[in-house]
């Protein structure tokens, strides 16, 4: 049971962070399919920092530096999406797909180059990221994630910036007519999604194991986060709930065999499948009354009405 | 597409030039990466080998290129077909997965001959393609989201059935793959007709010709028939098509079904050629063939015939990448190049516009026959 709680929290926080990233991007009007790629790049950058720093570095500096670098790398990578889809008016889904493919290739090349060998596995110590509460081993990403959740909520609903961001996703022409720069807002949205996605990538890779093989990337977590975002109806608190709900299934996939649930005889494939099916069902029932930002996916063109 | 008038011709040439420009920039960035990784060996042992592709190890390498090009043409066609009808089929990977299952099940469990296995692959892919079509037509849910979800559902489903906790009859526990067709179901192998001997491989078959024939058929259907015209009309403007008496719901579902069938057929071509075996323990990544199909479709500007050439090119550099000396370079350089090429293709319309201006400054016609625009708004 303790194990289930641990896995659920660890994985749920990852899903929540990345889904919140997706939420910011979509509220600004840009569909961010590239979350998967952003996670890979963020995770890689953070892990490289952890692996490259000398052994004597103080844990606090190590953790802070790794998270900052992961966030920065995610933002830089998201900038590629922002540039293509905002300035060059590229098809957002196509650009995002390209970035996902590119991310895996870049990660493998950099990992192999870092190792100087043909293996894309990077080893590191994750001690600095973990702490213990009553026998429950948790990572620093859990408090960090909760703080970011609150910050996201406040930014989205209690600030002028959040209101403007959402205006750009709902009706960019109207937003522009009252003097809001749609381009700037959309850049902000995508960059925030890069920041959260990058941290999410590191949070996915670091806490559970001491070696990561970058050939597997982040195993579809970015896409799952997209499902979480939809399931959470593009709202921060709902996204938190959806992320935990999805994480329970994912954790069950890992540990079902060692619990009482083994008697059901379901394999991990079935648990893995469930969140995706659940989000399709939700989509089907809410499609008539969708909470999705109205203008997402449409490049903003000043001259169109 | 415009007929044989001047505008159409100009558009075609600018489209090809834009694609070539994408390729050149992609290669240039790949070259820079090679130089950064290992300066001394970057040119001779790196770049030249990628450019040579399969010809580095003739004829074996060329055979390898043809083997991987056949399914790639099909997934490319799948994506291109959907593009032409205004849909983005990111689900080719999932349809390919189901197609692989259909082909392997019929081959290993039912012992059917290859053409029936290929048909089964096509049908399985078609069903998996139809689902996002139905969601889009009746519930107005963006096909991209549905396709992504069903990609993963398909992967887990197929893995579950094939593996069945290690007891699956199709699963060879020794190799952690499905059984090899060559030993367990030779009747299901697509005939080689001497191609394997010619290229000294064991999996080069007539699949490549089948793929080319399908590409031509798709081109004829899209460009020369009323049916194809209706599909494209729905893609260009759903409401106008409806007004003109076209059943837009039926056409959306049909487009996705056909796109799925093409991807499934591609999986059949790969697995029934003995190109590889399915690994049901890999539950972390979808078949790359599906996503590479997006690359070839974009590179070809969604033209079915162009897809043949773009697929051959992508296979060519991928095989070239696999011949890189691993002590100097990671073989993923080729993936890097193709990734950059698609990224550039995503906004190649911009290049196209510039090239058109350069080509014909005196012509001030606007590009009215561009790619079908994405439908304006859907509930996600």
Q: What is the DSSP letter of B191?
A: P
Q: Which residues are A139's β-sheet partners?
A: A130
Distance of CA B270 to the CA centre of its chain: 12
Count CB neighbours of A232 within 10 A: 27
Instruction: Please check the confidence at residue B101 and state whether its pLDDT lies above 70.
Output: yes
Contact A275, A227 (CB under 8 A): yes
Indicate whether B349 pLDDT > 80.
no
Judge whether residue A265 has pLDDT over 80.
no
pLDDT confidence band for B111 (50 / 70 / 90): confident
> What is the per-residue pLDDT across A149-201, written as a single tens digit (0 to 9) for each?
999 999 988 999 888 888 888 888 888 888 888 888 889 999 999 999 999 99
Q: Provide the token pair at B284.
A: 């972390």
Q: Which residues in A lie closer than 8 A to residue B345 (C-beta atoms)?
A: 94, 98
Q: Is the ipTM of this complex over 0.90?
A: no
* A residues 133..172 contacting B (CB < 8 A): none
Question: pLDDT-based confidence at B2, cuts 50/70/90?
Answer: very low
Q: What angle do CA B170, B171, B176 make, to 5 degrees?
A: 155
Confidence of residue B123 (pLDDT cuts 50, 70, 90): very high
Fold annotation for B15-359:
ABC transporter involved in vitamin B12 uptake, BtuC (1.10.3470)
What is the pLDDT at residue B376?
44
The beta strands (E) that lie in chain B are given as 171-172, 177-178
Of B152, B295, B330, the CB nearest to A109: B330
In whole angstroms, how far apart are CA B286 and each of B17, B53, B226? 32, 25, 35
| pLDDT tens digits along B38-75 | 778 777 787 888 888 778 877 888 888 888 899 999 99
- State residue A254's pLDDT score: 73
Q: For residue B379, give the nearest of A118, A279, A290 by CB distance.
A: A290
Each residue's pLDDT tens digit, B265-294:
999 999 988 777 888 887 777 888 888 888
Chain Cα centroid distance, residue B129:
14
Contacts for B352 with CB less than 8 Å, ≥ 6 apart: B14, B15, B17, B18, B367
pLDDT of residue B311: 92
Whether residue A283 lies within 8 A of chain B, CB to CB, comes out as: yes
CA B152 to chain centre: 18
* B169 exposure class (CB count in 10 Å sphere: 0-12, 13-18, 19+): exposed
Contact between chains at B144 and A33 (C-beta distance less than 8 A): yes
Lowest-pLDDT choice from A237-241, B177-181, B211-215, B308-312: B177-181
Nearest residue to B87 via CA among B42, B130, B43, B34: B130
Give pLDDT, residue B10. Answer: 66
User: Residues A121-144: pLDDT tens digits?
Assistant: 777 777 777 877 777 777 888 888
Q: Do residue A97 and residue B339 have CB atoms under 8 angstroms apart?
A: no
In 3-state terms, what secondary structure has residue B324?
Answer: coil
The rounded distance, in Å, linking the Cα atoms of A45 and A51 is 10
- Report whether pLDDT(B365) > 60: no
* pLDDT bucket at B379, cuts 50 / 70 / 90: very low
Domain boundaries, chain A: 2-289
Residues of A in contact with B298 (CB under 8 A): 94
Structure tokens at B251: 């056409």
Q: How many CB atoms lie within 10 A of CB A1?
A: 8
Q: Please, what is the angle between helix B60-84 and helix B226-236, to 10°?
A: 70
Instruction: Tell me which residue in B149, B150, B335 faces A105 most closely, judged by beta carbons.
Output: B335
Least confident among A12-26, A131-145, B213-227, B353-367 = B353-367
| The dihedral formed by the CA atoms of B188, B193, B198 and B201, expressed in degrees to the nearest 10 | 0
Q: How far apart are the CA of A68 and the nearest CA of chain B, in angstroms? A: 25
Q: How far is A3 from chain B (nearest CA, A)?
A: 22
**Statement: residue A31 has pLDDT above 80:** yes
Q: Does A113 touch chain B (CB under 8 A)?
A: yes
Closest residue in B to A265 (Cα–Cα)? B165
Instruction: Quick: pLDDT tens for A216-232.
Output: 777 788 888 888 888 88
B163 Cβ under 8 Å from any chain A Cβ: yes
Chain A residue numbers touching B33 (CB-CB < 8 A): 109
Residue A270 touches partner B, C-beta closer than 8 Å: yes
Structure tokens, B348: 């190649």
Chain B residues within an 8 Å CB radius of A301: none
Determine the pLDDT at residue B3: 43
pLDDT band at A93 (very low <50, low <70, confident <90, very high): confident
B296 touches chain A (CB under 8 A): no
Q: Where are the domains of chain B?
A: 15-359
Whole-number average pLDDT of chain B? 82
Q: CB-based burial of residue A175 (10 Å sphere; 0-12 exposed, 13-18 middle, 19+ buried)?
A: buried
Task: Kindly indicate the confidence band of residue B1, based on its pLDDT and cuts at 50, 70 and 90.
Answer: very low
Using 50, 70 and 90 to split pLDDT, how confident is the model at A213? confident
CATH topology of domain A2-289: ABC transporter involved in vitamin B12 uptake, BtuC (1.10.3470)
DSSP A202-231: HHHHTTT-SEEEGGGTTTTHHHHHHHHHHH
Q: Which residue has the higher pLDDT, B78 or A120?
A: B78
Are residues A101 and B295, on separate chains, in Cβ contact within 8 Å? yes
């Amino acid at each position: 049971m303790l194990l289930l709680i641990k896995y659920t929290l660890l994985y749920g926080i990852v899903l929540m962070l990345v889904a919140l990233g997706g939420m910011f991007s979509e509220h600004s009007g840009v569909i961010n399919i590239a979350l998967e790629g952003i996670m890979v790049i963020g995770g890689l950058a953070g892990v490289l920092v952890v692996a490259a720093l000398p052994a004597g570095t103080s844990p606090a500096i190590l953790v802070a530096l790794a998270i900052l670098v992961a966030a920065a790398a995610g933002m830089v990578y998201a900038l590629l999406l922002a540039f293509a889809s905002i300035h060059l008016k590229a098809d957002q889904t196509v650009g995002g797909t390209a970035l996902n493919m590119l991310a895996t290739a870049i990660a493998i090349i950099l990992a192999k180059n870092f190792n100087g060998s043909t293996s894309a596995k990077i080893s590191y110590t994750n001690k600095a990221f973990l702490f213990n509460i009553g026998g429950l081993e948790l990572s620093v990403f859990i408090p960090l994630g909760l703080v970011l959740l609150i910050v996201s909520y406040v930014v989205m609903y209690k600030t002028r910036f959040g209101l403007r961001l959402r205006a750009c996703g709902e009706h960019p022409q109207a937003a522009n007519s009252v003097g809001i720069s749609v381009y700037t807002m959309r850049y902000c949205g995508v960059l925030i999604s890069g920041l959260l996605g990058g941290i999410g990538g590191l949070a996915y890779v670091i806490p559970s194991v001491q070696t990561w093989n970058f050939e597997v990337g982040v195993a579809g977590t970015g896409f799952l986060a997209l499902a979480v975002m939809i399931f959470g109806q593009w709202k921060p608190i709902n996204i938190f709930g959806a992320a935990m709900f999805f994480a329970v299934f994912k954790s069950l996939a890992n540990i079902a065999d060692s619990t009482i649930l083994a008697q059901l005889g379901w394999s991990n494939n079935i648990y893995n499948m469930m969140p995706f099916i659940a989000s399709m069902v939700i989509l089907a029932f809410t499609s008539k009354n969708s909470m999705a930002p109205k203008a997402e996916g449409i490049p903003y063109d000043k001259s169109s009405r | 597409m415009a007929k044989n008038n001047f505008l159409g011709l100009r558009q075609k040439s600018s489209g090809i030039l834009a694609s070539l420009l994408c390729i050149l920039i992609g290669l240039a960035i790949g070259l820079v990466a090679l130089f950064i990784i290992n300066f001394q060996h970057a040119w001779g042992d790196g770049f030249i080998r990628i450019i040579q592709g399969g010809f580095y190890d003739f004829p074996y390498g060329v055979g390898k290129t043809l083997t991987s090009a056949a399914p790639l043409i099909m997934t490319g066609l799948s994506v291109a077909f959907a593009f032409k009808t205004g849909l983005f089929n990111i689900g080719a990977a999932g349809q390919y997965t189901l197609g692989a299952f259909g082909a392997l099940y019929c081959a290993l469990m039912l012992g059917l001959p290859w053409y029936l296995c290929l048909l089964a692959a096509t049908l399985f892919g078609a069903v998996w393609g139809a689902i996002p079509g139905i969601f889009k037509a009746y519930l107005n849910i963006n096909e991209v989201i549905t396709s992504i979800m069903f990609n993963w559902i398909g992967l887990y489903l197929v893995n579950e059935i094939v593996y069945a906790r290690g007891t699956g009859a199709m699963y060879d526990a020794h190799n952690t793959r499905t059984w090899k067709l060559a030993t367990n179901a030779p009747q299901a192998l697509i005939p080689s007709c001497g191609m394997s001997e010619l290229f000294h491989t064991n999996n080069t078959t007539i699949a490549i010709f089948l793929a080319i024939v399908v590409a031509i058929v798709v081109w004829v259907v899209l460009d020369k028939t009323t049916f194809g015209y209706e599909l494209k009309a729905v893609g260009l403007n759903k409401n106008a098509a409806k007004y003109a008496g076209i059943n837009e719901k039926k056409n959306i579902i049909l487009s996705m079904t056909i796109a799925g069938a093409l991807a499934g057929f591609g999986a059949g071509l790969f697995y029934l050629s003995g190109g590889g075996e399915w690994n049901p323990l890999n539950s972390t990544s979808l078949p790359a063939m599906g996503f590479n199909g997006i690359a070839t479709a974009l590179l070809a500007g969604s033209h079915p015939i162009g897809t043949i050439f773009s697929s051959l090119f992508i296979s060519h550099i991928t095989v070239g990448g696999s011949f890189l000396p691993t002590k100097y370079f990671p073989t993923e350089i080729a993936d890097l190049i193709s990734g950059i090429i698609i990224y550039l293709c995503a906004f190649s319309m911009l290049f196209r516009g510039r090239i058109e201006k350069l080509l014909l400054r005196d012509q001030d016609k606007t590009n009215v026959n561009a790619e079908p625009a994405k439908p304006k708004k859907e509930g996600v």
